[in-house]
Amino acid sequence: MSQIKVIVNGVLGRMGQQAANAVAVEAGLELIGGADIKATRDHLVTPANNKAVPLYPDIDSLIESCRPDVLVDFSVAEAAVASAKLALKNGIHIVVGTTGLSDADLKEIDELAKVNSKGAVVAANFAIGAIVLMYLAKIASKYFDNAEIIELHHDKKLDAPSGTALATARAMLKGKERPFICPPTEKETLKGTRGGQTEGISIHSVRLPGLVASQEVIFGALGQTLSLRHDTISRESFMPGVILAIKEVVKRQGLVYGLDTLLNLGD
């Protein structure tokens, strides 16, 4: 394949704009259009290269108007599932960063990708450092019985805990092969202070303006703690992962869930 032609859904959002810019200046990739329900103009200029591409308020019209190789989606869950299905049925590979897709959605995307011989990458976190943290936490889990997760995000985040915190806990439990030990709190004077519990791991969610996304995993044992921390300082941090996914998805068929597989850090 020469240039990989890319379209972005949710292109006027925080992640969509970053993705469009990153694609626009990446060698081997070409941004050929965007869609966003908020679109009020018929074109979008990417500041990174000052180039205009067509902009539509819906993904259906965009797909009808051009022949992309890859759809990148950073919108909202319902729209992402619809755009992913439409793209696959039209023979377009998909990279979905939108969070909140259900297991049933993933199954359907996998089936559609296979039937249409196209690739699908769905990843709730494209920050490579966050994926490495998960991998390291999984390894460390074997050696500690107590661990807690603190995840810190901007105040506009809709869900808590983050999908990454839950995925980290799942990876840690896989590494440990049994539940962690959470010491009981005899008297919780303020409900919820000990965080949410999953198999002995307490997860604490911090929401503050000024933050982007951070996560710390703290392991504890006799006389020692081990802390693993990752900080997303700007949304640019997600872009190397998005670019990797675009370049990889065109070589694959069916669903790849999570960036860890593309980084060879999966099971």
Ligand X SMILES: NC(=O)c1ccc[n+]([C@@H]2O[C@H](COP(=O)([O-])OP(=O)(O)OC[C@H]3O[C@@H](n4cnc5c(N)ncnc54)[C@H](O)[C@@H]3O)[C@@H](O)[C@H]2O)c1
Nearer to ligand X among residue 104 and residue 158 (C-beta)? 158
Active-site position among 51, 85, 114, 157: 157
Nearer to ligand X, 10 or 200 (CB): 10
Separation of alpha carbons 241 and 256, rounded Å: 13
Give dist(CA 27, CA 241) in Å, integer: 15
Give residues in contact with ligand X (CB under 6 A): 9-10, 12-16, 35-38, 74-76, 79, 97-100, 123-126, 238
Which of 180/257 has CB closer to ligand X?
Answer: 257
Q: Is 153 a catalytic residue?
A: yes
Query: Is 62 within 8 Å of 56 (Cβ atoms)?
Result: yes
230 counts as catalytic? no
Of 100 and 220, CB closest to ligand X = 100
With CB atoms as reference, the residue minimizing the distance to ligand X is: 13
CA 189-206-163 angle, to 5 degrees, is: 115
Are 248 and 29 spatial neighbours (Cβ–Cβ below 8 Å)?
no
Report how far residue 15's alpha carbon sits from residue 19's, in angstroms, rounded to the nearest whole number: 6
**Smallest distance from the beta carbon of 28 to ligand X, in angstroms?**
21
Q: Pick the closer one to ligand X by CB: 79 or 92.
A: 79
- Active-site residue (options: 153, 176, 204, 230): 153
Q: Are 80 and 47 in contact (CB under 8 A)?
A: no
Tell me the two tokens of residue 141. 């889990």
Tokens standing for residue 171: 């990876």
Q: Enter the tokens of residue 243.
A: 């670019």
Query: What is the total residue count of the chain?
Result: 267
CA-to-CA dists, residue 51 to 12, 16, 43, 64, 68, angstroms: 15, 16, 10, 21, 17
Quick one: CA torsion of 129, 154, 102, 258, rounded to 10 degrees?
-10
Q: Are 95 and 70 in contact, with CB atoms under 8 Å apart? A: yes
Q: How far is the CB of 159 from ligand X (least distance, A)?
A: 8
Q: Which is nearer to ligand X, 46 or 75 (CB)?
A: 75
Could you list the active site residues? 153, 157
